Structure 1
Amino acid sequence: MSTHLQNSTGHPQAEQEHRRDTGSGVLRAGIFGISDGLVSNLALVMGVAGGIDHPDAIIVAGVAGLLAGSCSMAAGEYVSMATQRESMERQIELERSHIEQFPEEEERHLAELLEESGLDPVIAGDVARTIHERGTDAADFHALFELGIVPGQMGSPWAASAISFFAFALGAAIPLIPWLVSARALPMSLLLSALALLVVGGGATRVTNRSPVIGALRQLCIGVAAAGVTYGMGVWVGGFF
């Protein structure tokens, strides 16, 4: 038995964590979509508020930023996911073509991959032979062990696009909401956004596995810095009009 298998103490817990990580694509898209929407629209709203003392203009700018950013995020995520999926499908098709042209070589290759994963050489050879002889789609196994691709879990471009759209819109709405209920909403907008930045920053550590406190404070600093810069620029530019 290989050293890899012998030193597998705590493997069930590690495997559970790994599965959670590999299935965190939706969580990642949601958290970072909210973060992008929150920071970008907070900066936009603060910039406009610094240059124009007119609540209606701030609301119009905030809504425009929310819609434009959400559409941009959705389009970008769709193109990215679709391109990645097409690339993976192409690699699987190439594996399938290689298996049809060079079945014996590909069977030996799969046995070697299984052996490298910790299987006994004899067992690895038997498994590879069974996969190829029983008519199982061997290309899926080659894709998994050779390319790290799970054919049934490549993600949906449409789902990723929708998640990005609504996540960005949710984040972008946070600094805008106070302006819908009060003409003097700058302090409340900043306070609500700061609390949201802390929550989002802490939540992001579920993906990165870092300290929630550090993640929350880092996100707060980034958001406040962006808002401060745009507010200052808004005040400066507004002074010319």
Structure 2
Amino acid sequence: MTDPPAALREGHHADVSGGRLRPAVFGAMDGLVTNIALIAGVGGGGVSANSIVLTGTAGLVAGAISMALGEYTSVRSANEQVAAEVAKERRELERHPQAEARELAEVWVGRGLPRNLAMEVAETLARRPEEALRVHVREELGVDPDDQPSPWTAAISSFLFFSVGALMPLLPYLLGFTNLWLALAVGGVGLFVAGAVVARFTGRSWLISGLRQLLLGAAAAAATYLVGTLIGVQGGL
């Protein structure tokens, strides 16, 4: 009986590299928390519905652009750092192949492989420079040089998901409602759903994950609402 395909076997791992999931999740969460807190703050200050829409829209656009630029820069810089280390390892392999082979063998020995076997495998691998480079980089740096996340994917994902998250608490106002608490409630639902969706990838309880995100967002909204109320009272708004 042949084994089933890897994708169908129990225990097959999800992609945890972070190139797609991380910016999407953080983008949506940041969008929700940022605009919920922003709307709570200005709403607590007693401003008009039009002012809340203006503030929330500005927060959405500014935040989405900031998230996209931040993710692009972060991922691009990380990739450049990996590329520099790979180039350094390539030079070391060209100049000192035997020393590098011994270094790799020592890593495997430390993991329980017999020394003779570890040295034999390392020396055999050294005859294939490109494969040797990939293995050395994985073992010494803990990264796969051929599977680095795309900065453009991270940037676009962050922009889109932040925008979706930030739009949630604005929806009631855009639909003609003017109740601050309705907007915050819609945002709270978005936070809970986002947390529950994250649990799909982490294996955690969807209820606990959703409630955790809801409580964190509520704490941020409460803090900014209090600040907005105090400023509104003192400023006579």
TM-score, normalised to structure 2's length? 0.86
Which runs of 5 or more residues in structure 1 are unaligned?
A: 1-11
Structure 2 residue corresponding to 1:80, chosen from 71, 74, 79:
74
Q: Is the 8 A contact 1:28 1:204 kept in 2?
A: no
**SS at 2:55 equivalent:** helix
- The yes-or-no answer on 1:43 pairing with 2:53 is no
Structure 1 position 113, deviation (Å): 2.4
Structure 2 residue corresponding to 1:149, chosen from 125, 143, 163:
143
How many angstroms apart in 1 are the aligned matches of 2:153 and 2:186? 29
Structure 1 residue corresponding to 2:101, chosen from 103, 107, 112:
107
Aligned pairs (5 A) from 1:1-241: 16-17=12-13, 20=14, 22-206=16-200, 209-239=203-233, 240-241=236-237
Which AA in structure 2 matches 1:175? P
Structure 1 position 147, deviation (Å): 1.4
* Regions of 4+ moved over 6 Å: none
Structure 1 position 160, deviation (Å): 0.9
Structure 1 position 136, deviation (Å): 3.4
How many angstroms apart in 1 are the aligned matches of 2:16 and 2:223? 37
Residues 7-55 of structure 1: CA distance to partner in whole angstroms, max 9, x if unpaired? xxxxx866x34xx253344112211211111011011112222224422
Q: Is the 8 A contact 1:39 1:226 kept in 2?
A: yes
Identity of aligned residues (%): 39
How many angstroms apart in 1 are the aligned matches of 2:201 and 2:146? 22
Which AA in structure 2 matches 1:157? P
How many correspondences in the alignment?
227
Structure 1 position 234, deviation (Å): 2.1
Residues 192-231 of structure 1: CA distance to partner in whole angstroms, max 9, x if unpaired? 1111111122233455554333222221111112212222
Structure 1 position 187, deviation (Å): 3.2
- Change beyond 3 A, Cα 1:156–1:24: closer
Structure 1 position 114, deviation (Å): 3.2
How many angstroms apart in 1 are the aligned matches of 2:185 and 2:58? 22
**SS at 1:45 equivalent:** helix
Larger displacement relative to structure 2 (131-140 or 72-81): 131-140
